[in-house]
Amino acid sequence: MVKCPRCGYKNPDSSVYCDNCAYPLSDESGKKVTMNKRKSSWNMGLGKKIVIVLGIIVIGYLLFTFAYNNSQPTKQDSLNIISDDGSLQQGSSYPYDVAIQYEGNWYAKMGDPNYLQEQSGYGSNTFKLDCSPWDKVYVSVYQYGGEGELTVQLLRNGKVVAENTTNETVNNVELTYN
């Protein structure tokens, strides 16, 4: 029996070609033919090559996903959530100021209508509001005793955008803007 060097099929000794794959088993002189194998490092089957390429693609995808997820802001950062620790944040990004002019005691609620700051004091004072340029602004100042005129001004970037005044003894002044 002669084993085919290509497919491994066992042929009868008298066969010139493989009965399975038609590969020549002997040349014209009658010498047995052997299959020459390549001496390359890539001498592997197609299935192994496909597995290696797919493995490289999967590893690349995992590395990309890891890098992408670690470069994204957290949900708290992306939602721009502000935590209140009780202190008044006064940054340059808040364009609104409230100027209270009065010679007496007063109490004020001011800012975004959903998040009002409360202040009280005596005499004239100016406060920076914790509001963004697109927020609606509400100001309400109550006067307690004292004499004279209570004037409340809402300033945006240093310019008066709303103003209200009262001369009554116990009264309040309200402003709404935007």
What would the pLDDT profile of 81-120 be if each residue is shown by its tens digit? 555 555 544 444 678 899 999 888 889 999 888 888 899 9
Number of structural domains (the chain) is 2
List the domain range (segments joined by +) for residue 7.
2-59
Q: Quick check: is 80 in a domain? A: no
For 50-65, b where at least 16 C-beta lie within 10 A, e where not — what string?
Answer: eeeeeeeeeeeeeeee
Same domain, 101 and 169: yes
Give CA–CA dist 33/25, Å, rounded.
5
Nearest alpha carbon to residue 152 among 176, 134, 178: 176
pLDDT of 91: 45
Tell me, what's the pLDDT at 132?
Answer: 79
Whether residue 150 contacts residue 111, with contact meaning beta carbons closer than 8 Å, is answered with no
- Residue 146: is its pLDDT beyond 90? no
Domain membership of residue 82 (yes or no) is no
Min mean pLDDT across 54-63, 78-87, 102-111, 145-154 is at 78-87
Domain membership flag for residue 76: no
Tell me whether residue 113 is in a domain: yes
Q: How confident is the model over 19-39, as pLDDT tens digits?
A: 998 888 876 666 666 655 555
- 121, pLDDT greater than 50: yes
